[in-house]
Structure 1
């Protein structure tokens, strides 16, 4: 009942009130702050300064085009040379490869030390997963010429073919049975 009364007062004479608001004079925007130029600066100097800023200066542009900055870190450059020279010479024969022509790649005969092929990585990971006491990170690092730190990270973060079955919350729920 109170809502009806409130709606009647709210809608009473609505059209006249709308026309009155529309016909009111619109408020004017606030005036801009007046800028006072110093008496020594004439209007011609201001125009000349604005023009000189906006114009292209050919001699400066040619100098800028001729500038070439090359940043080098001497320590990083020496380390990079050592890595590339040392690693290129050290190669090891493949320990494991897939039969045939896998993935359309050319058959490799050797790999740089510190690197693995996909087939070798899968073989090393699966053998560690099956027999972790025999295939320790130290043995894998030694067999495949890898860093021990990288091998431990590989075994910790890349686990192939691991299936986890999460038990249901209720006892009467359907569950996949392992065969």
Structure 2
């Protein structure tokens, strides 16, 4: 029932739309949009000052129409072919179809860097040097080498560290009975009945 009702209502809407289109097309001249009051006042002022001006604007000038009929535009500009095979190959296909190489940090490192910027590899190298022998000269060396401010290099060395992994002793009891059993190879403790 719903499909039939919507089909019927759609046909009625299209019929009323077509009727309104035919009604508008049957008119000789379309009705102009209403003008602003200031535009109406300006037209009335022009009609009082120069009544021939309004008549000249509404009359068709035959000489001007003939001149417009003789005007032709010829273009001498040759368009460049934008869809050539070379440009399509450059845009659509990748240069290398190999999978990207595995990197140390999980992303591609830049070949060049902007002045005042440090790559992750360079920062880790400086941090490792500082952790090995903490000196103030490392911060000044880092600042001079990478063209960054001394304050920034000091902050990098102060707030960033490399990861350190600690392994507990085998005989140390950390997490209670369960960790000891896991260390000796027992998955589930046997319950006494």
Sort the TM-score into its range (normalised by shorter chain): 0.3 to 0.5
* Higher relative contact order (Cα pairs below 8 Å, separated by 6+ residues): 1
What's the TM-score, normalizing by structure 2? 0.30
